[in-house]
Amino acid sequence: MRFIQIRLGSALRCIRRNVSRVQSPYGIAGPRGVEPRVVKTLHDGFKKALDDPEHLKVLDQLDQEPWYQSSEDYARETLQKERALIERLGLLAK
């Protein structure tokens, strides 16, 4: 097993040299009507965590770039990309 891990690690290092870093977006959502001050508090806390050196270190280990979006941008983009799934699940606000 150790031999495979070493070979796999070497192969991944070679692949990493030829592939650009990736983004893997993630975010949170809340119910409609959350008070703006609560949204701001959550936003500010998550933004601070995103910029935390330990988080950036983990992203670097995973060959990922930090990718920040405002609450409005994230909601709009997610709805556009995931609208069919959201509708199928009955989660789209009417």
Task: Note the pLDDT of residue 41.
Answer: 93
pTM of the model: 0.57
How much is the pLDDT for 5?
A: 39
pLDDT in 10s for each residue of the chain, 94 residues: 333 333 444 444 444 454 555 666 677 778 878 899 998 998 899 899 989 999 999 888 888 888 888 888 888 888 788 888 888 888 776 6
DSSP 33-86: T--HHHHHHHHHHHHHHHT-HHHHHHHHHTTB------HHHHHHHHHHHHHHHH
The angle formed by the CA atoms of residues 81, 91 and 37, to the nearest 5 degrees, is 85
Query: For tokens 């933004």, what's the residue?
Result: 47
- Residue 10 is predicted with a pLDDT of 46
Domain boundaries, the chain: 2-88
So what's the pLDDT on residue 8?
47
- pLDDT for position 9: 46
